[in-house]
Amino acid sequence: MKVSMNWLKEMVDIGDDYKLLETKFNLMSQEVESLYKLIDIDNLVIGHVKTCDKHPEADKLSVTTVDVGDEVLQIICGAPNIAEGQKVIVSKVGACLPGDFKIKKSKIRGIESNGMICSLEELGIKEFDSEETGIYVLGDDAETGQDPLKYLHLDDYVLDLDLTANRSDLLSMEGVAYDVACMLDKEYKPVQHQYETRREENTIKVFTDTKDCLAYYGQVIDNVKLGQSPYWLKSRLIAAGIRPISNVVDITNYVMLQYGQPLHAFDYDKIRTDRILVRHAKEDETLITLDGQTRKLLASDIVITDGKYPIALAGVMGGKETEVGEGTTKILLESAFFDPLCVRKTSKRLDLKSESSSRFEKGIDPGKIKKAMDFASELFIKLAGGEVVGEYSFFDTTQKEPSAVVLSLERLNQVTGREFTVGEVKSILKRLNFDNHVSGSDVFRIDVPTRRQNMFGYQDIIEEIVRISGYDKIPLTIPATPTFGYLTKTQQLRRTVRNYFVNNGFNETISYSLVNETQAIEFDQEKLSIVEIMNPLNKEKSILRHSLIPSLLDILQYNKSRKISDVFLFEIGRSYREEKEVEYLSGLITGVYQSNLWQGKKEIADFYLLKGIIEGMLLRLHIENYRIVKAEKPLSMMHPGMVADVFIGEEYLGYLGKLHPQKEMDMNLDKTFIFEFNFEILSSAYNDDLVMVEIPKFPSVSRDLAIIVDKDLTAEKIIDEVKLAGKKTLKNVEIFDIYSGQGIASDKKSIALSLTLQNVEKTLETKEVDTVVERIIKQLENTINAKLR
């Protein structure tokens, strides 16, 4: 809502400190979007054109001398309508017009020009006067040397309020006046409107067929002379951001701004009957609206009809057929109350948002329906020569009684945490203009006036009291109820895992959950149905992802194309299914992990680096019963020879491996290793229930063993057998060399194992060690056909 200060001043004594008013609004009412001068141009003056001659060098230019009060200026003017004797707007040297157009002393075709005679458009005021062509000519009463903006009533400031949905009362100047008076502790006295009628029979009768029209007042005004509105009215409309059109339209808009009640004027003579019937539209009924469009109507729309055919879309837009225009002399003025929801639905469906519809949608004050019509009638008589025919026709079932709200001082103090007194509350309610009485010692019965449509209970009253008494007066305490703060196991784990990867040089990402159709399912393990957005922003963000990998690959691609080639990423995020959301832990690695080039050291991301990092994480989480095995059914996006499944116990955690070379090629990537785990399974396996294990008191013994086995035998199989035979004495087994080639048959490989043996109860004797190693060798020979090398 754009509030004209000049207009407001007429209603409340606000003084001249608009900055202060802005602060008051911000702290006590609504956020101020901006406070600005309506026309922010200095050095404008009313000039009197003394002489006007043709420029000797240019046909279309005139050389004028203009009296601007304290001096006479020679100004070159290019407007065709310039003439001697006119009162005009002069931008003196030093003025700066919109578009950063600075007026300077200049020479035009050899003749000096000291300023500029302006059109309104050049001052940034469009359509102040629809008949304007060329420079703007002021009336003869304009005083030479004075401020033309003042003459035009454009010397105004505007406070632009950013209204919240609960303050529809501020969609009217009167509502603003009430609020301002309350904030400044001043008074606002509403005006009564009076006018004479011809005391004839009203020639039109209004009816309704729907309860969604709660009130309708129809006033017939005759002898209306269509023309322009006076400067003061136009200026106020311009300040409010509404374009002046003609006195008839301007009056309805002005009254709407004053009282928040939208009005509509029909050309009376174009209404074919003597009745107005409000009803819901019939399916497939049509109406040509003011903008010339043919609108197909629905039963949810409310229409104004002449008894048969629609002539306006209630609260949204008038009909073309009954439009006021050239030749209109008699109007039917409508002031009504339509159901907010109906208006909202219609305006939304037809994408017709207007000053009128937005007020109806938010709920207008039933107390202003008649008053607005009275005010408009008064103005039609005053400004358009109109004559009110007689008593208006109307029906009105709106609730005009204030609604009562009960609030005890005790409740107020308990909710706010501040100690208000009865006297204090009384004085605030008085400022708010809310009638009230106190019963008992401290129970207020408050009458909320109809102008405050969005107040429903005592909480709303508390809000009013607090904002007017000041939020700065509320004390600072914290809740006294004791509760315990803690993270759940899963929440703690998320942090642990994050820290683990960060400490290992990974960068955490957060990416969009919405992806395109391909990405959503590309890395699915099983066939899952997709979760699709009904009204997506675009195709690229239309489906909720199943896997985080495509997003991570996008991020990799983005960084690679910016010459960042060593990329280690992880992300914790959800996989969205039809029936549930599953949390995933995913990541990728590519490029150099650690290096020191001058030392010739460079560790490049490969499968085993990733595997080590993953095993490190499992160790960090005290998860021991995991297995990493060759993937049985690898994803088509993965390199089938370099992908492993991870199980914890019998549960499938996820996979790690190399991206399929084809996919790498398609995405212009190289040697990219990825993993994706079910974080929830990780979380349930996470073991933070630890018991100390005794540190062995007796020394351990190491033995190395080199064996030759079949080339495709897995390390896991060998280690399993060693462990089986090693029993309790075997503490650890590690592979420290793998060799194939010279000296080894082509279908064999040599594997070197390092065994660590230990007895927790005593020092191992050589004989015992030999026995265990012997047993291991036997086992390897028997089960996997190993030969000692």
Partner 1 sequence: MEKKLNKLIEDMLSRLDGISNLNDLNLLKAEYLGKKSVFNDLMQELKEVPKEEKPRFGQMINEAKNRISDFLEEKKTALEKQLVANKLKDESIDVTLPGRKMNQGSKHLISQVIEEVEDIFLGLGYTVKEGPEVESDLYNFEMLNLPKDHPARDMQDSLYISEERLLRTHTSPVQVRSLLENTNQEPLKIICPGKVYRKDDDDQTHSHQFTQIEALVVDGKASLADLKGTLLFIAKKLFGDEREIRLRPSFFPFTEPSVEVDVSCYKCGGAGCSMCGNTGWIEILGAGMVNNNVLSAAGYDPEKFQGFALGMGVERIAILKYGIDDIRAFYTNDLRFNKQFRGK
Segment 291 to 310, residues that bind partner 1, using CB under 8 A: none
- Long-range (24+ apart) CB contacts under 8 A made by 572-577 are 572/494, 572/497, 572/498, 572/508, 572/679, 573/510, 573/511, 573/513, 573/548, 574/513, 575/545, 575/546, 575/547, 575/548, 576/513, 576/531, 576/544, 576/545, 576/546, 577/528, 577/529, 577/531, 577/546
Site string for partner 1, 30-49 (x = CB under 8 A): xx------------------
| Among positions 567, 653, 751, 786, the unique one binding partner 1 when judged by CB under 8 A | 567
| Among positions 508, 624, 670, 688, the unique one binding partner 1 when judged by CB under 8 A | 508
Nearer to partner 1, 503 or 702 (CB): 503
Nearer to partner 1, 241 or 457 (CB): 457
| Among positions 193, 205, 349, 498, the unique one binding partner 1 when judged by CB under 8 A | 498
Nearest distance from C-beta of residue 353 to partner 1, angstroms: 10
Nearer to partner 1, 478 or 693 (CB): 478
Nearest distance from C-beta of residue 484 to partner 1, angstroms: 6
Rule CB under 8 A: say whether 546 interacts with partner 1. Answer: no
| Among positions 16, 112, 391, 463, the unique one binding partner 1 when judged by CB under 8 A | 463
DSSP summary character for residue 230: P
Nearer to partner 1, 580 or 697 (CB): 580
Nearest distance from C-beta of residue 428 to partner 1, angstroms: 14
Nearer to partner 1, 602 or 787 (CB): 602
Rule CB under 8 A: say whether 562 interacts with partner 1. Answer: yes
Residues 330 and 307: their CA atoms lie apart, in Å, by: 20
Give the DSSP H or E segment for 447: strand 443-448
**What is the DSSP secondary-structure string of 645-681?**
EEEETTEEEEEEEEEPHHHHHHTT--S-EEEEEEHHH
Rule CB under 8 A: say whether 459 interacts with partner 1. Answer: yes
Residues 450 and 259: their CA atoms lie apart, in Å, by: 13
Sign of the four-CA dihedral 679, 684, 690, 694: negative
Rule CB under 8 A: say whether 600 interacts with partner 1. Answer: no
Give me the sheet containing 157-162, strands edge to edge: 2-4, 157-162, 31-37
Pick the closest to residue 172 from 258, 262, 264 (CA basis).
258
Nearer to partner 1, 592 or 735 (CB): 592
| Among positions 29, 172, 253, 678, the unique one binding partner 1 when judged by CB under 8 A | 29
Partners of 302 in the beta sheet? 280
Rule CB under 8 A: say whether 418 interacts with partner 1. Answer: yes
Binding residues for partner 1 restricted to 50-109, rule: CB under 8 A: none
Residues 314 and 340: their CA atoms lie apart, in Å, by: 11
Rule CB under 8 A: say whether 21 interacts with partner 1. Answer: no
Q: Are strands 275-280 and 205-208 parallel, antiparallel or unpaired?
A: parallel
Please answer whether residues 382 and 436 qualify as being in contact, where contact means their C-beta atoms are separated by less than 8 angstroms.
Answer: no
| Among positions 26, 51, 702, 782, the unique one binding partner 1 when judged by CB under 8 A | 26
Rule CB under 8 A: say whether 513 interacts with partner 1. Answer: yes
Please answer whether residues 682 and 653 qualify as being in contact, where contact means their C-beta atoms are separated by less than 8 angstroms.
Answer: yes
CB atoms within 10 A of CB 103: 21
Residues 218 and 312: their CA atoms lie apart, in Å, by: 14
Nearest distance from C-beta of residue 600 to partner 1, angstroms: 12
Binding residues for partner 1 restricted to 613-652, rule: CB under 8 A: none
Rule CB under 8 A: say whether 467 interacts with partner 1. Answer: yes
| Among positions 558, 608, 698, 736, the unique one binding partner 1 when judged by CB under 8 A | 558
Binding residues for partner 1 restricted to 329-348, rule: CB under 8 A: 341, 344-345
| Among positions 194, 294, 441, 483, the unique one binding partner 1 when judged by CB under 8 A | 483
